[in-house]
Amino acid sequence: MATEVSISALPYPLTLTLEQTALLVIDMQNDFCSVGGWVNQMGFDVKPTRQPIEPLQRLLMGLRQTPVTIIHTREGHRPDLSDCPPHKLERSRWRGAEIGSEGLMGRFLTRGSKSHDFVDELQPLPDEIVLDKPGKGAFVATDLDLILRQRGIRHLIFTGVTTECCVHTTLRDANDLGYECLLLEDCCASLDPEFHRASVEMVHYVFGWVANSKMLLEALGMEAQQPLVEGVWA
């Protein structure tokens, strides 16, 4: 398999060196993607945030055969909530799903609970990196930048939920830190389709590149076996 691959992304083609590339699977957790999780308890339908699961399964199957570093992130807090800002806690209380309170799968957004854990379909392999973060961005109060620089990573592939929040916050920080950022639009989702659309456009206009998982797998000489969710290239 070629060390370098070229993808016909927006706004122009992007070349990735696989040994210098990391995939970020951002916050594909029960709290954001499962019935009974934190977001669902607030009254949101989680069907949109479950849409990336199938394309991500196929993407992971392919990238696990390459030198690409795979990193899974989780948003959540210590059991004593000492790392949860008061305004975040108050907002969650106002929305009817207080962080740290008990749900169907344990405490919302609290480390160690099933609610906080990844969806069953996207559990990390033992050799993949799991990064717990207390906020939206994966670079704040974590050692993500250190891990990436230790491994010589230059290119980041962004997936996960939600597009406009945790994905976009992390991508913007990565852009400022000098990483080349590729967003796979079919492997991301928002609870609001308009938020997703606008976020995708902002990436290829300002912060990086946009493609989809089918394009990346084809660039790697692999094929996506099932149709992808509707998106920019559908």
Instruction: In whole angstroms, give the CA distance from residue 157 to residue 65.
Output: 16
**Active-site residue, 45 included:** no
Instruction: In whole angstroms, give the CA distance from residue 151 to residue 177.
Output: 15
**Active-site residue, 133 included:** yes
Token readout for 54 is 């199938």
User: Of the residues 165, 166, 187, 188, which is catalytic?
Assistant: 166
User: Of the residues 31, 117, 133, 186, which is catalytic?
Assistant: 133
User: Of the residues 27, 31, 117, 173, which is catalytic?
Assistant: 27
With the C-alpha atoms ordered 129, 133, 138, 143, is the resulting torsion angle positive or negative? negative
Instruction: In whole angstroms, give the CA distance from residue 172 to residue 166.
Output: 10
**Active-site residue, 181 included:** no
Q: Closest Cα partner for 182 from 2, 15, 1, 4?
A: 15
Instruction: In whole angstroms, give the CA distance from residue 168 to residue 119.
Output: 21
Which positions are catalytic? Answer: 27, 133, 166
